[in-house]
Structure 1
Amino acid sequence: MLSSYNIQQDLNILISNIQQALLYLKKNVSSGMIIIKKTYSLIISSRYGIIDNIESFNYVSSLVTIYNNFRQSSVFSNKISFLEICKSIDRSISISKYTEMDKCFGLPDINLLFDHKKKINLFFPKLFNLDEIKNLVDLTNSAALNFDSKVINIEGSVFEYSIDINILGNSLGWIDSYLSTCNYLSSHVIARYKNFMERDFSYSVSRDFNDLDDPEKVGQDSAKKSIARLNSKKISTQISPVIFISDIANELFSYLIDAINGYSVYKKSSFLLCYLNKKIFPFWLNIFEDPFINKGLSSRLFDNEGVATKKRKIIENGILKTWLLDTYSSNKLNIENTGHSGGIYNWIVSSTQLTQSFDDILHTMNRGVLITELLGDSINIITGNYSFGICGFWIEDGIIKYPIHGITISGNLINTWNNIILIANDINKKNNIQCSSVLIDKIQISGY
């Protein structure tokens, strides 16, 4: 893996490429922007003390977008030299002559662009040697295999390390870049009891290698989860309270992203079209977006158009406070750009009421379903209706009784969101939506 000095050299070369290419762009067309990305990756997997796969590769890409008399055209390439970017500019100009005119196309307002003043640290480079990584994955495997005799096999442990260089510039004279690192360690385990076999996995992810969970914990967690799923049963069709465990509770809120995206709103294809500044969650629930968390997995100083990100209330006291807009959708809706070209930034789901431990909300629910996995993805973003297969556990008297399978939950998201009773304090920070386990009063469950 490259040293931080080598990375800085590459960054300087790529910035020079984009500077020259922007001069070429401005000579040939009125406005546009260029994005360059380079990724260095190292992936190593191991089973039973033997490395079975090593991958080390670099991936590069460039995206040229030009605006030619309100006509937009974009050309993607896996080449990032100055000459190749110029070729992409030429192709983009040629294509734009045949695209439809739309006065909403264009660069963002110059006053919205990131001013280069704020800093966050997402870059934690580390030099690895093969023995160090092999020891890491071997410890993960051993912890899983030695946890219980029911663990009969491992599909392997995987370690991944990546460095990203991202550079963005536009014809307004704005250029900026950022470096980031990501570390990922996972364990996949197969468990058996009598004629039943199950598999599950556990993982840890972080910007800084030193923030990864201990390999023993990752291995043991995957073993526990696999064993817990053995000898699962079906349950009857019913309306029941459910808990979304913190590992997957983020998915309960992830559909909000699509529903309040500017494209869904201006196309009138969202079930939340008429809900801006209206209540869609319990009054005690808040979702706050913070792009500036050091080491945050979804932290960004600017979006994919260079627009500065901001701390923002998404849900305040249960009320939807904003759409998620880029330049085009903000022009369509005649609302100020929110800097969401490319996604969201560290949503934090919180409660103004006293939170409880995971065990406490199990006892509060008393009887119902603990959901640990969602299967499939069937949701109608126009109506908010959904249906998912699930895996999990049946809870009786606040205690996990047995695993369940072959179950489907269904309903409407607005009803489900409003039926949230409690959130726990076991916050999971491994996703772009940081959320704890969630207790919902009632959901339709289809079993046998």
Structure 2
Amino acid sequence: MNQANQQSIYSQIDEVKNAVSDVLSYAKSLGATSAEAAMSSTSGLSVSTRMGEVDTIEFNQDGSLGVSVYVGNHKGSASTADLSPKALRSVVEKAVDIAKFTSDDPCNGVADKQLLEMSPPDLDLYHPWSLTPDAAISLCQEAENTALDADPRIINSDGASISSHEGLRVYGNSHGLIAGFPRTRHSFSTMVIGKEDEQMQRDSAFAVSRLSTELKSAKDLGIEAASATLAKLGSRKLSTRKTPVIFRADIASGLFGHLVSAIGGGALYRKSSFLLDSLGTQVFNPCVSIEERPHMLQALASSPFDSEGVKTADRTIIDSGELQTYLLTSYSARKMNMVSTGHAGGIHNWLVNPTEGDLDALLRKMGTGLLVTELMGQGVNTVTGDYSRGAAGFWVENGQIQFPVSEITIAGNLKDMFLGVEGLGADIEKRGAIQTGSVLINNMQIAGN
């Protein structure tokens, strides 16, 4: 990062901090007993190609401010994309007016002062990329061409896309906190179509990172997309059966995403979770442990504070299968007579501890069963835990992949699935908020022929 870029982004953050301060002061002058405001902005370039031709080139620059005011226990919220001084004053006035008509709720209010992050650490999240449209087009074309040239069975492309964005986030509230930080996000992907006999399949490859230097090369991305597509050709259905199942690392994070939903304060105080009253109880097989690490440098889900300004901290989520914490905002914590855990806005780098070697080691441990590499549909009920998804992947015997599988459904209940986890791979997927390897579950229902 050059010095000019760094000076520019921190100058912008200072300007936004001043605007947030003005908003909070104005809210107080209109009778708000407390208030909070958050402003974010993002700018960047997105380019996509298809079969070598430019599909889209987009430059975008977006910004918005949201403000919540509290008049006693009455809350009013409003937002604006117009960041002029006049518009900011107007949005505060609207929020105060709205508060006059909302119900009195003693759980309303900004986060408790003692929980706030008044001196946020620098987590090294800002790494801008001087990507030009011409360079972006060339990278997309190279990724597509590499995939198309990999094998005669790769007959078409669904396109390649690349994006580079930088932005900032500033949060402030009436306890005197005004803090902000810059961040970047870069991504690169391509998808191709293969054909063998009368069967056609498609698959993709993608990369995402805070740093452009951490993205896969166009050549590697193209080869990966082609290989994934070719592996699916000749897929078969399975007969209906019960069998062990491995969720490959890139989709296994979705399993733990259902845990996030089930232990979130909103679901719990509404009593709409299959993990009600589960704190301190065994919800996973004892082989499962999950840690949260919000301050990992350069990581995609790192943040010094949550969307309410509450300090984020290292936390054990699951310890040898036992649930150690709920995920609470200030509001849900008050509803449950507990304390905010700093999870307003989401989770921060969950690390699922591996118990085995790589995916091959997990396949050998399973012996015979299904390796799932793709899920379709939304058949998950986090109130009951019932789970049913369309799936595709590979049939495995004696620890070796035998043939690709498609047009099947896998089903179970998340409570049983969590307790049935028998192994966690060391093939860690790092492209999201949940970093996990592949997951072996001892038994699931397969619906096929």
Residues 129, 164 of structure 2: 8 Å contact kept: no
Residues 17, 81 of structure 1: 8 Å contact kept: no
Percent of aligned pairs sharing the same letter:
35
Q: Does 1:433 align with 2:441?
A: no
Residues 70, 101 of structure 1: 8 Å contact kept: yes
Corresponding residue of 1:250 = 253
> Which consecutive aligned stretches of 4+ in structure 1 deviate over 4 angstroms post-superposition?
2-5
CA distance in 1, matches of 2:6, 2:226: 37
Q: CA RMSD in A?
A: 1.4
Measure how far apart 1:145 and its partner are: 1.1
Corresponding residue of 2:43 = 40
Measure how far apart 1:96 and its partner are: 1.1
CA distance in 2, matches of 1:225, 1:198: 10
Which stretches in structure 1 are left out of the alignment for 5+ residues? none
Task: Give secondary structure in 2 for the equivalent of 1:362.
Answer: helix
Task: Give secondary structure in 1 for the equivalent of 2:195.
Answer: strand
Deviates more, 1:304-313 or 1:416-425: 416-425
Residues 46, 138 of structure 1: 8 Å contact kept: yes
**TM-score of the pair, normalised by structure 1:** 0.97
CA distance in 1, matches of 2:444, 2:113: 47
Q: Does 1:391 align with 2:392?
A: yes
Corresponding residue of 1:379 = 380
CA distance in 1, matches of 2:111, 2:423: 40
Corresponding residue of 1:23 = 25
Note the alpha carbon deviations across 1:295-346, whole angstroms, 9 max, x for none.
1100000000100001000001110000101110111111111011000000
Residues 139, 215 of structure 1: 8 Å contact kept: yes
Measure how far apart 1:218 and its partner are: 1.1
Measure how far apart 1:187 and its partner are: 0.5
Residues 4, 125 of structure 1: 8 Å contact kept: no
Corresponding residue of 1:119 = 122
Measure how far apart 1:4 and its partner are: 4.3
Q: Does 1:139 align with 2:115?
A: no
Give the letter aligned to residue 20 of structure 1.
D
Deviates more, 1:390-399 or 1:326-335: 390-399
Mapping of 1:155-234 within 5 angstroms?
155-234=158-237
CA distance in 2, matches of 1:190, 1:48: 11
Note the alpha carbon deviations across 1:64-105, whole angstroms, 9 max, x for none.
101112011111221222321211111111111111110010
Residues 147, 222 of structure 2: 8 Å contact kept: yes
Q: Does 1:274 align with 2:277?
A: yes
Task: Give secondary structure in 2 for the equivalent of 1:331.
Answer: helix
CA distance in 2, matches of 1:115, 1:92: 26
CA distance in 2, matches of 1:321, 1:398: 34
Give the letter aligned to residue 147 of structure 2.
A
**TM-score of the pair, normalised by structure 2:** 0.96
CA distance in 1, matches of 2:379, 2:54: 38
**Aligned pair partner of 1:13 in 12, 15, 24:** 15
Q: Does 1:286 align with 2:320?
A: no
Measure how far apart 1:117 and its partner are: 4.7
CA distance in 2, matches of 1:82, 1:37: 16
Measure how far apart 1:221 and its partner are: 1.0
Corresponding residue of 1:445 = 446
Q: Does 1:101 align with 2:97?
A: no
Give the letter aligned to residue 183 of structure 1.
H
Task: Give secondary structure in 2 for the equivalent of 1:248.
Answer: helix
Corresponding residue of 1:336 = 339
Residues 13, 181 of structure 2: 8 Å contact kept: no
Corresponding residue of 2:421 = 420
Corresponding residue of 1:300 = 303
Measure how far apart 1:139 and its partner are: 2.1
Task: Give secondary structure in 1 for the equivalent of 2:250.
Answer: coil
Corresponding residue of 1:260 = 263
Deviates more, 1:301-310 or 1:113-122: 113-122
CA distance in 2, matches of 1:270, 1:219: 41
Residues 131, 164 of structure 2: 8 Å contact kept: no
Corresponding residue of 2:72 = 69
CA distance in 1, matches of 2:415, 2:256: 11
Q: Paired residues, what number?
A: 445
Give the letter aligned to residue 389 of structure 1.
G
